[in-house]
Structure 1
Amino acid sequence: MSDVTILAPSPTLTVTVEDHPQGSEIHVHAGGQGVWQARMLRRLQVPVTMCCVLTGEVGRALQHLLEDEDITVQALTRDGRGSAYVHDRRGGERIVIDEERGDPIGRHDLDDLYSAMLSSSEDSQVVVLSGPAGEETIPADFYRRLAIDLRAAGKTVVADLSGERLRAVVEGGVDVLKVSHEELKADGLVTVTTDDEIIAAMQRLRADGAGAVIVTRASDPLLFTDGDRVIAVSPPPFEENETRGAGDSLTAGVIAGLVRGEPLRDAITLGAAAGALNVTRHGLGTGDADLIGSLRTKVTVREVPRRDAEGREQEGRVSPDGLAALADPEEDS
């Protein structure tokens, strides 16, 4: 039994060449959004099942790599080209040697993947909908239907998506939606990434079907709302080594908090700590659980003042006790 089930339609086999005193060092891992989320959840001692389609030789290698990380894998296997990349980081920068997004998932395999998600999530508290390796891998409506059925089954549904899949899952209804400010702009939901425009977009997403919205903003404080109030969450700053995977680590940290029974406004601080630590590391979705817990105490939270149509700050209470007061559900009633 897993506390969390993750939809990771097309995991990626990652091959990265790094510098070593004796020459080149080649690292082979499972990767992709859902994998990085699952890896961080396992670091935080949360049991995870990952539903995916594993394709060809790449898929057979991925199966072993995922199981070696103590991730329960519910996989459909097929012939064809799987998702994989080869990157060269010997010079410090990531240089793409080759990337393959893999073959789209066919109709019959999609039906089986849908059934696998419903079956695997029966005993899970939280279900995570993550994106595929390529835009053509899986249709957006798959996410809309799955969100509807999972929530009808009483599951907490978390989505970390963009583009058509974001719109689909919001239409279906989602408890927690995480998106970056760059994705909001690319999707046309904001024209400039000011606080006011992002907050307006967050409220529109909530009106359209998202229960709570988290917007990450690179090194700037992330924004979170599950109602009229918006809070800004600032993790401790670190020198960046690798920014990829930080958002997925954040999502995993939030989910770990929810599984432990924390209110969402508390769980966001665990996510912020996990994401902050991940930027210091080469390994994506990695980090020490004790260190993440320590960093959590250094995460700061403040309420973002609301503004009227003329841009003037509205009068409102800013909690002197930070997150503890903001997290009190009695104050929202």
Structure 2
Amino acid sequence: MTIWNLGSINADLSYSVPHLPVPGETLAAASMSRGLGGKGANMSVAAARAAARVVHLGAVGADGAWAVGRLMEYGVDTRHIVEVDEATGHAIILVDGQGENSIVIHHGANHAIPQDLLGRALSEAETGDLLLIQNETLLQPEAARMARELGLRVAYAAAPFEAEAARAVLGLCDILVLNAIEMEQLQAASGLGLAGMGVETVIVTEGGRGGRLHLAANDWEAERFETPKVTPVDTTGAGDTFTGYLLAGLDRGMPLRQAVELASRAGALMVTRHGTADVIPDLKEVQAARFG
């Protein structure tokens, strides 16, 4: 099986700061680094490192060849990443001493993905494959409809939260992954309860407290799951790592609870590292990790 990921590709410009700034405050950063990021790229790398076959659908500018090369190094199929006139997307990430972050995103090429790319790419998909979408690109509803028509399962990571984007795809996806704050925002914006969202599987993450599963088959009753206890140094990309590992596990035929456990271990290991796509752990590291 294959995971087809319509996703963003960013240059992550990360700054270590003593605390997250308040309005009007100027801070000196202790360090700065540039790495591969974007929720889409992070999830592609995570799924590939979890031993799934991943094809990334996306766009970069003329300045983005390094990002495509980096994705290839991590095992992602990049044949359906195109170069467009817009500059490659980027994110400015501030990380404080407790590992919390604040992020500003410039979409750039991520909002210039040509629609005909969807047809070219998904024409290669097979029934039972999985399409993954997030909110850092356009064309999510079009991709989800096309995937459904072709017999693919559709997973939606509703981040960063956008009410209009969520309403456009809710009835078109099979798996919904989001954090607790995004879940509150979604329910407030849509006015829908779990049963009204039209999604069979909803996974709500709650950071270090684990999270909960809501399944249509279980009448939406919450099932708790735990995450290993760690001391976080940088939470950037942890949710993306969780989602990539989750879908890789499901794509390989794991039961949902087992895939969630694997994803939770990967996410916990991720928050002990500084960076995004470049430091996502591989499957061997996740399986070998020992948590206190």
The bucket for the TM-score relative to the shorter chain is: 0.7 to 0.9
Identity %: 24
Look up the match of 1:292: 286
Distance, in Å, in 1 between the alignment partners of 2:95 and 2:197 is: 42
Q: 1:68 aligns with which of 64, 68, 73?
A: 73
When normalised by structure 2's length, the TM-score is: 0.79
> Which structure's CA Rg is the greater one?
1
Superimposed CA distance per residue, residues 5-38 of structure 1 (whole angstroms, 9 cap, x where no aligned partner): 1111x3111233679xxxx876432211111111
Distance, in Å, in 1 between the alignment partners of 2:222 and 2:95 is: 39
What amino acid sits opposite 2:268 in the alignment? A
In the alignment, is the contact (CA less than 8 A) between 1:121 and 1:127 conserved in 2?
A: no
Look up the match of 1:211: 200
State the SS of the aligned residue for 1:219.
helix
Q: 2:239 aligns with which of 236, 247, 254?
A: 247
Distance, in Å, in 2 between the alignment partners of 1:274 and 1:179 is: 16
The runs of at least 4 aligned residues of structure 1 exceeding 4 Å deviation read: 86-99
State the SS of the aligned residue for 1:242.
coil
What amino acid sits opposite 2:270 in the alignment? N
Look up the match of 1:130: 134
What amino acid sits opposite 1:218 in the alignment? G
Query: Runs of 5+ in structure 1 lacking a partner?
Result: 191-199, 299-333
Matches within 5 A, 1:83-232: 83-87=89-93, 100-102=106-108, 105=111, 109-122=113-126, 125-132=129-136, 138=138, 142-161=139-158, 162-163=161-162, 164-171=164-171, 173-189=172-188, 204-227=193-216, 228=219, 229-232=221-224
What amino acid sits opposite 1:31 in the alignment? G
When normalised by structure 1's length, the TM-score is: 0.70
Higher relative contact order (CA 8 A, sep 6+): 2
Q: 2:12 aligns with which of 11, 14, 27?
A: 14
What amino acid sits opposite 1:175 in the alignment? D
In the alignment, is the contact (CA less than 8 A) between 1:49 and 1:120 conserved in 2?
A: no
Residues 90, 206 of structure 1: alpha-carbon distance in 2 compared, 3 angstrom cutoff? closer
What amino acid sits opposite 2:133 in the alignment? L
State the SS of the aligned residue for 2:188.
coil
Look up the match of 2:55: 49
1:272 aligns with 2:278: no
Shift of 1:92: 8.0
Look up the match of 1:256: 248
Query: Runs of 5+ in structure 2 lacking a partner?
Result: 18-29
In the alignment, is the contact (CA less than 8 A) between 2:180 and 2:205 conserved in 1?
A: yes
* Two-structure CA RMSD over aligned residues (Å): 3.2
Residues 45, 63 of structure 1: alpha-carbon distance in 2 compared, 3 angstrom cutoff? same
The count of aligned residue pairs is 269
Look up the match of 2:21: none
State the SS of the aligned residue for 2:125.
helix
